């Protein structure tokens, strides 16, 4: 179903934000200068997750050096990394009493290590004051820097995610500066360097991909030893971003979940409103049995 007029189907309607959990996390934005991908990327699950007291923190600032055509995060020249950022995020995680924290970042091609040292510092800070909190990272491709990846893995995250986002054919228009094979190699390298750390990836549907292309990407992920998967609907943030070509139905997302599980993934979150960190705690617990 194409949608040139931009009208969204009923299943994409979300609740308005509210509740004590939402207000508590919103206060952290304003009072502590923290960033979350929930707000920066206009996530449709912001109301649900914040009301439950969960959020995906975004480090290394709010300016991305790439500016992908699907993403609502602001592109441009970023500021130097904040040396206090890791401790501020750790303090927030501890005060919110999170048991499973998700941390991502903008892409920082301006930094030699892509921001790996900041991820490692954050893990150390969280372990020091909230040792019972699991740490899930969603990292950029680090420009293919394996030493930078090892810095992150040596710090000991509980799970490492990196999204392929779309099929190889659409990379040129959707993920300028990214490379499909480089992203796959990052996931494969993680499985080789730290096989005890589960890897996770995600795809957006609705950009014009074909079913055969989706299936091929899922096979590539399995070959890279990635067993956790999210599938969600691409939603156009503004008219300056790529248009939505199609809105797969909830039944189609259910069918893709069943297919991916049959192919060998250990856990799949698939639905129109699913994003990388949606039900992250439940997904980790399910996969670790």
Percent of the chain with pLDDT over 70: 76
pLDDT tens figures, 260-273: 999 999 999 999 98
Percent of the chain with pLDDT over 90: 57
pLDDT of residue 204 exceeding 80: yes
As a whole number, mean pLDDT of residues 207-226 equals 98
pLDDT at position 17? 52
- Domain membership flag for residue 201: yes
pLDDT of residue 9 exceeding 90: no
As a whole number, mean pLDDT of residues 96-112 equals 89
Domain with residue 202: its CATH number is 3.20.20.70
Domain count across the chain: 1
Domain with 161 in it: 14-288
Alpha carbon distance 264, 160 (integer Å) = 19
pLDDT at position 130? 95
pLDDT at position 3? 46
pLDDT of residue 18 exceeding 80: no
pLDDT at position 40? 46
- Domain membership flag for residue 277: yes
Give the chain as a 3 state SS string.
CCCCCCCCCHHHCCCCCCCHHHHHHHHHHHHHCCEEHHHHCCCCCHHHHHHCCCCEEEECCCEECCCCCCCCCEECCCCCCCCCHHHHHHHHHHHCCCCEEEEEECCCCCCCCCCHHHHHHHHHHHHHHCCCCEEEEECCCHHHCHHHHHHHHHCCCCEEECCCECCHHHHHHHCCCCCHHHHHHHHHHHHHHCCCCCEEEEEEECCCCCHHHHHHHHHHHHHCCCCEEEEEECCCCCCCCCCCCCCCCHHHHHHHHHHHHHHCCCEEEECCCCCCCCCHHHHHHHHHC
Alpha carbon distance 73, 54 (integer Å) = 20
Alpha carbon distance 136, 163 (integer Å) = 13
- Domain membership flag for residue 255: yes
- Domain membership flag for residue 5: no
Q: Across the chain, what does the average pLDDT equal?
A: 84
- Domain membership flag for residue 9: no
Q: Which of 92, 244, 230 is nearest to 161 (CA)?
A: 230
pLDDT tens figures, 64-89: 878 675 666 677 788 899 999 999 99
- Domain membership flag for residue 106: yes
pLDDT of residue 39 exceeding 60: no
As a whole number, mean pLDDT of residues 170-176 equals 88
Q: Which residue has the tokens 């048991």?
A: 99
pLDDT at position 2? 44
Confidence of residue 10 (pLDDT cuts 50, 70, 90): confident
Confidence of residue 249 (pLDDT cuts 50, 70, 90): very high
User: Which region holds residue 181: left if phi is over 0, alpha if psi is between -120 and 50, else beta?
Assistant: alpha
- Domain membership flag for residue 52: yes
């Amino acid at each position: 179903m194409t949608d040139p007029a931009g009208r969204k189907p009923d299943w994409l309607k979300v609740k308005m934000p509210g509740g004590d959990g939402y207000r508590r996390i919103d206060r952290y934005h304003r009072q502590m200068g923290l960033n979350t991908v929930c707000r920066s990327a206009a996530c449709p699950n912001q109301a649900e997750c914040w009301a439950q007291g969960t959020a995906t923190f975004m480090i290394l600032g709010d300016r991305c050096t790439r500016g992908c055509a699907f993403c609502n995060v602001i592109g441009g020249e970023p500021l130097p990394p904040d040396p206090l950022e890791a401790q501020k995020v750790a303090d927030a995680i501890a005060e919110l009493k999170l048991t499973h924290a998700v941390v991502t970042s903008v892409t920082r091609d301006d930094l030699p290590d892509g921001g790996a040292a900041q991820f490692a510092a954050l893990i150390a800070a969280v372990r020091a004051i909230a040792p019972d909190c699991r740490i899930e990272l969603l990292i950029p491709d680090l420009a293919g820097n394996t030493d930078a990846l090892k810095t992150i893995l040596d710090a000991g995250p509980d799970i490492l995610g990196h999204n392929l986002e779309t099929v190889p054919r659409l990379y040129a228009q959707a993920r300028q500066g990214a490379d499909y094979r480089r992203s796959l190699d990052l996931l494969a390298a993680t499985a080789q360097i730290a096989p005890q750390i589960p890897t996770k990836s995600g795809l957006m549907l609705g950009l014009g991909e074909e079913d055969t292309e989706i299936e091929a990407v899922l096979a590539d992920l399995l070959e890279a030893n990635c067993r956790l998967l999210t599938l969600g609907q691409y939603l156009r943030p503004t008219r300056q971003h790529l248009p939505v070509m199609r809105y797969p139905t909830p039944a189609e997302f259910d069918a893709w979940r069943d297919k991916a599980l049959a192919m060998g993934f250990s856990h799949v979150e698939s639905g129109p409103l699913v994003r990388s960190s949606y039900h992250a705690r439940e997904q980790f617990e399910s996969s670790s049995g």
